[in-house]
Chains A and B, each alone.
Chain A
Amino acid sequence: MKQDYFSANNIKYIDYKDIEILKKFLNPNGKIVSHKRSGVTSKNQRALTSAIKHARFMGLLPFVVK
């Protein structure tokens, strides 16, 4: 993913309930993919990170995958 996924798909607000999208940015251990690897703009990476953390809190995404 070289280009920003969210601007390419015209996503203006990153929602914590969209777990299908958020899962793309998790590595096999459930960690958030780094800004360098995800290719997302800094602004969107910050929004993405908080969306993933909100989803984790609500039990939609795991904190760790063993």
Chain B
Amino acid sequence: MKPMQDNEIKDEIASNDADTGVNERVYELGYLLVPSITEENLPVMYGNVKELVSSFKGEIISDEMPKIIPLAYSMVKVISNVRNKFNTAYFGWTKFVMDSDKVLELKKKLDLDPNFVRFLILKTVKENTIAAKRFVGRDAGHKRVPNTHKTVEGEEAVPINKEEIDKEIDAMIAV
């Protein structure tokens, strides 16, 4: 019985490989573009990056338009024998599915591109990984919960008491 099962499992693995391609994985490309690009040319550059990924048979899952950010420290890049210092850059990212062999080729291509200050290719997951605002809000809420509870209870208690007292006083006056 056992050898039969093994064969079946092997067949399944083989068929899975055929379905999903050789070695497809989810990757993320984070990049910093040089700040000398003008606002008008930015969408063009953004399109070029997406096109480049697609040209290596990458299937784009999600991405974000590059935004200008102040860098936490100054970066140096030599472009055509000139040392360039950068304190700001356009930061953008794209998430895509690609063959593991193709990613190396993509990296080699990006290495030669003078428009990139730096880039980072990471293995990641398909799901959306950014949920910062919600979690920060929740966390802040957690911290405030004990304080607000106390104040809410206090506020609720006071008006009820006042009304009751008023009624009691009215009753006293009436009598």
**Cβ–Cβ contact A60 & B132, under 8 A:** no
- Determine if B120 and A57 form an interchain contact, defined as CB atoms under 8 angstroms apart: yes
B69 surroundings in chain A (CB, below 8 A): 59-60
Q: Which residues of B contact A21 (CB under 8 A)?
A: 132, 135-136
Asked if B130 contacts A18 (CB within 8 A), the reply is: yes
In the bound complex, what is the Cα–Cα distance between A51 and B33 (angstroms)? 21
The answer to whether the Cβ of B36 comes within 8 Å of any Cβ in the partner chain is no
Interface residues of B in 11-55 (CB under 8 A from A): 30, 32
Contact count band on A = 20 to 34
Total A-B contacts with CB atoms under 8 angstroms apart: 58
Q: Specify which of B72, B130, B139 is in contact with A59 (CB 8 Å cutoff).
A: B72
- For residue A59, which residue of chain B has the nearest CB? B71
Would you give the shortest CB distance from A11 to chain B, in whole angstroms?
Answer: 7
**In the complex the two chains form, what is the Cα distance from A17 to B159 in whole Å?**
47
B93 within 8 A of A: yes
If over half of A's interface residues share one DSSP class (helix, strand or loop), that class is named, otherwise mixed; here it is loop
* Assembly CA distance A46 to B98 (angstroms): 26
**Residues from chain A with Cβ under 8 Å of B89 in the complex:** 59
* In the complex with contacts A11-B135, A21-B135, A58-B73 CB distance below 8 A: no
| Residues from 71 to 124 in B contacting A, C-beta threshold 8 Å | 71-73, 75, 89, 91, 93, 118, 120, 122, 124
Of A9, A58, A63, which is within 8 A of B118 by CB? A58
- B6 CB–A CB distance under 8 Å: no
**In the bound complex, what is the Cα–Cα distance between A60 and B117 (angstroms)?**
13
Known A-B contacts A56-B72, A59-B73, A60-B72; the reply to A17 vs B135 at CB < 8 A is no
Contacts A/B (CB < 8 Å), 15 sampled: A9-B138, A11-B135, A12-B125, A16-B120, A17-B93, A17-B130, A18-B129, A18-B131, A56-B72, A57-B120, A58-B118, A60-B72, A60-B91, A62-B72, A62-B73
Interface residues of B (CB under 8 A from A): 30, 32, 69, 71-73, 75, 89, 91, 93, 118, 120, 122, 124-125, 127, 129-132, 135-136, 138-139
Given contacts A11-B131, A13-B129, 14 further A-B pairs with CB under 8 A are A13-B124, A13-B127, A17-B30, A18-B129, A18-B132, A54-B120, A56-B72, A58-B120, A59-B69, A59-B72, A59-B118, A60-B72, A60-B91, A62-B73
